[in-house]
Amino acid sequence: MCIVLSYLHDTELEFALADELVSHPVFEEHQLRVTKPTALCDPSVNQISGYLIMSLPRYRRAEDKHLFFWFFESRNSPSTDPLVLWLNGGPGCSSSTGLLFELGPCSIADDGKNTTFNPHSWNSNANMIFLDQPVNVGFSYAEDGTTVNNSPLAGKDVYAFLELFLQRFPEYSKQPFHISGESYAG
């Protein structure tokens, strides 16, 4: 069962930096839009969120597709702890479910109006990326409502995301890398 992520839609988050766009010469039709949220339950760690923006002819439309991600640096040793990409399964379940209900640094509290610190979060000993994929899962969306309907296309988008993320944040490219998830995570 997947949970519809509507609980944070009315929550206002503060962002420390304006959006920054990152491009890559190999992925000309992809851009990574990053920003730095400042108000989610654990201000002691670096947080980065944003979207992988895709303007791809393979979708046969000009409208953009957007994959949402939220990154939390390790509480322990960000420079040596592994980088973990978390994917919830389904397919069609948001990784924000894992972030806010299972293994993320925060849990939903007060009937969805607040978050609370999670002392058992995986980011206690890992740098965590939570990626809502494929398109139209969680906070990821397509402007025209279309979606990716096969694993090879979804995998290409995840690969492009990782390449752009590690280009922008090369300090995490030297750590061990793990992909983890539940159910059909990708």
User: Residue 167: what pLDDT?
Assistant: 93
The DSSP-derived string for 90-158 is: TTT--HHHIIIIISSSEEEEGGGTEEEE-TT-GGGSSEEEEE--STTSTT-EETT-----SHHHHHHHH
pLDDT over threshold 60, residue 124 = yes
Tens digits of per-residue pLDDT, 28-79?
888 888 988 876 778 888 999 999 888 866 555 556 888 999 999 999 999 9
Query: Hey, what domains does the chain have and what are their CATH numbers?
Result: 15-181 (3.40.50.1820)
- The pTM of the full predicted model, rounded to 2 decimals, is 0.85
